[in-house]
Amino acid sequence: MPEKDLTLPDDIQDVVERALAEDIGDGDRNAALVDETLQASARVVVRENAILSGAPWFERSFKALDERVQIEWLSNDGERIRSNTTVCEIRGPVRALLTGERTALNFLQLLSGVATSTFEFVERVKGTNTQIIDTRKTLPGLRSAQRYAVRCGGGMNHRFGLFDAILIKENHIMAAGSIETAVSRARDSAAGQFVQVEIETLEELEQALEAGCDGVLLDNLASHVLARAVNMADAHRRRFRRDIVIEASGDINLRNVREIADTGVDRISIGGLTKHLRATDFSMRMHTD
């Protein structure tokens, strides 16, 4: 497995500020009940086995409220954490801890949930050369954060958006008139960008390969058909001495992902990593000094 790329996105501060504004509005009426000079300590405990992700978002949620908040992490993003263990200890003004608690935990539980789900898929395909990758099916405004969480779980990222790679889908082919025309126009309009074609039949695969695409997305094909598609793409690779990325997608779950990986596909894209969310259970317990 390649080393995890835990490079942080550059929009963390903006995302955190929007989340805090959503929760606080024109003021935290609850925290106002507490003496503003009071200091407190807290610890965050995970209630189930998981992969940790979201520490930078968690930390900035408190720092945006009060720079005096100090956090000591006992585990790092991308690491496995065990149920009922402490992941971090916090100290600072009690008002900041109370106000930031929900927003901070929301980030931690969401991103750890994504990382944990990704890890489960990655474990199922261990021993193959297949990568588990995400899709654009993300929560609006949280794409960069969720992509980071996928990497924490050992997965890889697909294109970020509509601007950094081209995926020619059924509707694009219909509008262009053919796979060949769609690929040709993609080359003309976005020279140098990765061009991938979504196909649903072996006939379409042959057309995509002949059109000279960089990759194919095999959508909802049975495993025996996927194996034939891989053989066709491999033959094309040898014949023209050029690489073709073979990706499978559609109705993929923990029960069938290994079978699909064993067909020899290069990568498997799973929208459920970022849209079928199950948050990891964390709790924060506070005590005053």
Catalytic residue numbers, as ranges? 102, 137, 169, 198, 219
From the list 130, 101, 120, the residue with the least C-alpha distance to 286 is 101
User: Regarding beta strands 39-46 and 85-93, do their DSSP bridges make them parallel or antiparallel, or are they unpaired?
Assistant: antiparallel
Q: Write down the residue that tokens 């990891």 correspond to.
A: 280
| Neighbouring C-alpha atoms within 13 Å toward the C-beta of 162 | 1
Angle between helices 143-152 and 94-124 (to 10 degrees): 60
- Residue 92: how many CB atoms within 10 A of its CB? 21
State phi, psi for 145 to the nearest 5 degrees: -65, -45
* Cβ neighbours of residue 246 closer than 8 Å, sequence gap 6 or more: 215, 216, 218, 229, 230, 233, 264, 265, 266, 267
- DSSP H/E element including 236: helix 223-240
